[in-house]
């Protein structure tokens, strides 16, 4: 009897050890609603260019591209597909977990093999749907979700335009400068008009406007009126640039920053352009490009940047006015960048027999560890009719995996598109202005990679366009 009791005790102890051992196995974690994912948003995403040689970055708005979580089906997905050519293997996804739980992702190569710990700072490969296993901190409970990141497979077919509220600050004014830039989920507009006093002296008035929704406009800053004492053609128009999430304004020899618009430093540049990495660019009075390094244009010193010296690079090929600056990473090497300057030259020549003369000037530079020159993008001898022509009040922006450009009268209703970053240009029927656009004097365009904005200088009308697939 005594031996029988000992056997019973030993069997019970063995059973308890086996049970404890099994409970600690990941395969037997109890599914539970005590853990889960409560929210999901996109971070910075990459979009491949149409040529495949570079990529741009953008942050999808949570209102435009929300991510749904179906707890019943265990599915996480974006109902509105991301723009075409978004790189699926470089998705930055921010997930919020319930009750301090954590997640492990399913292997891309091996199904139901969970090996990759989720970190919000890691870019993830969602070339196909992947599971994520959410586990409690004591590893007693878990829950699986399937994440499906949807991306459009075909390109833009047309633009759908929505009329926004009129910007009354510029409506009805005769503007000499109209510039639009997107920065930090807001749209900024630089508008400069002229007025005369009782003595018939001409003054320039500069306004920096801002909107976060395209409908409500506020005046960020207005400069004191500046008397124009030189011939009007020689007057330096104010310029605006975006760099490292800040706005910069150059007017009347003073450089200002959105950190504190009322504070300024002297700057003898003709125009400021924008920047890439730690380089900030401008154009001097000799129409040559200058650069400041160090990350803060308000304190950095500008010096001449290298521009190619070729026999055909003559004075009328240098940038003089209507400056536009575009910067993007190279797809082949994300540590490298491409900067593009589009502008008009000083003396436009209208000659239908020589259309290569009557065109905008475009300079480009590759940003690398090895210093490289700015190069004039000169079309081939047989490519005259694919150049970007001279457009009064030239305005250009990066959008739809390329560059879109337009100008003032008589080109207000014409959009030019380049899918090779300024080498060749064409008018595409799929990239069109709003049918009801009323502006006839000049327009400015800007983009935040999701929307394309069009602002009419004389009417104050504001249009927001989105690609339709």
DSSP for 150-184, please give it.
-B--S---EEEEEE----TTTTT--EEEEEEEEET
Q: Which helix (H) or strand (E) holds 196?
A: strand 186-196
User: Rounded to 5, what percent of the chain is helix, strand, coil?
Assistant: 10, 45, 50
pLDDT block averages, 10 residues each, the chain of length 469? 47 44 44 84 86 79 89 93 88 94 92 91 94 92 95 68 93 92 92 89 92 91 89 89 95 95 95 94 94 91 82 68 92 85 75 54 90 81 71 92 88 87 84 87 89 92 83
The whole-number pLDDT of residue 197 equals 87
Residues 6 or more apart in contact with residue 83 via CB below 8 angstroms: 47, 58, 151, 152, 449, 450, 467
Q: Which residues pair with 23 in a beta bridge?
A: none
The whole-number pLDDT of residue 382 equals 55
The whole-number pLDDT of residue 149 equals 96
Class of domain 158-468: mainly beta
The whole-number pLDDT of residue 309 equals 64
The whole-number pLDDT of residue 379 equals 66
**What are the extents of the domains in the chain?**
29-148, 158-468
Fold of 29-148: Immunoglobulin-like (2.60.40)
């Amino acid at each position: 009897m005594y031996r029988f009791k000992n056997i019973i005790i030993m069997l019970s102890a063995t059973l308890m050890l086996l049970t404890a051992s099994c409970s600690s196995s990941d395969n037997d974690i109890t599914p539970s609603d005590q853990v889960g994912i409560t929210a999901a948003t996109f971070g910075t995403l990459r979009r491949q260019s149409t040529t495949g040689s570079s990529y741009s970055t953008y942050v999808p708005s949570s209102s435009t591209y929300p991510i749904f979580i179906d707890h019943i089906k265990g599915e996480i997905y974006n109902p509105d597909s991301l723009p075409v050519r978004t790189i699926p293997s470089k998705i930055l996804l921010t997930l919020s977990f319930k009750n301090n739980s954590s997640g492990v992702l399913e292997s891309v190569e091996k199904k139901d093999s969970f090996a990759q710990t989720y970190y919000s700072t890691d870019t993830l490969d969602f070339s196909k749907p992947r599971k994520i296993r959410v586990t409690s901190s004591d590893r007693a409970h878990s829950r699986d979700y399937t994440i499906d990141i949807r991306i459009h497979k075909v390109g833009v077919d047309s633009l759908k335009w929505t009329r926004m509220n009129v910007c009354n600050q510029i409506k009805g004014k005769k503007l000499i400068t109209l510039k639009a830039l997107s920065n930090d989920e807001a749209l900024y507009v630089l508008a400069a008009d002229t007025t005369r006093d009782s003595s018939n002296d001409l003054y320039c008035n500069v306004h920096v406007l801002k909107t976060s929704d395209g409908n409500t406009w506020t005046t960020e800053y207005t400069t004191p009126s500046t008397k124009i004492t030189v011939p009007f053609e020689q007057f330096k128009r104010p310029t605006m640039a975006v760099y490292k999430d800040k706005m910069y304004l150059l007017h009347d020899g003073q450089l200002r920053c959105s950190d504190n618009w009322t504070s300024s430093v002297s700057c003898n540049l003709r125009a400021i352009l924008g920047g890439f990495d730690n380089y900030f660019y401008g154009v001097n009075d000799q129409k040559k490009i200058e650069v400041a390094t160090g990350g803060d244009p308000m304190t950095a010193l500008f010096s001449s940047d290298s521009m190619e010296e070729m026999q055909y690079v003559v004075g009328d090929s240098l940038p003089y006015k209507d400056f536009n600056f575009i910067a993007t990473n190279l797809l082949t090497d994300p540590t490298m960048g491409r900067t593009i300057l589009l502008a008009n030259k000083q003396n436009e020549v209208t000659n239908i027999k020589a259309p290569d003369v009557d065109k905008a000037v475009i300079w480009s530079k590759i940003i690398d560890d090895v210093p490289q020159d700015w190069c004039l993008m000169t079309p081939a001898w047989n490519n005259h009719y694919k150049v970007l022509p001279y457009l009064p009040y030239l305005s250009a922006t990066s959008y739809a995996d390329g560059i879109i450009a337009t100008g003032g009268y008589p080109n207000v209703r014409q959009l030019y598109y380049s899918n090779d970053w300024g080498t060749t240009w064409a008018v595409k029927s799929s990239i069109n202005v709003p049918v009801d656009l009323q502006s006839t004097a000049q327009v400015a365009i800007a983009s935040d990679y999701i929307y394309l904005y069009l602002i009419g200088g004389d009417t104050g009308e504001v249009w927001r366009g989105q690609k339709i697939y």
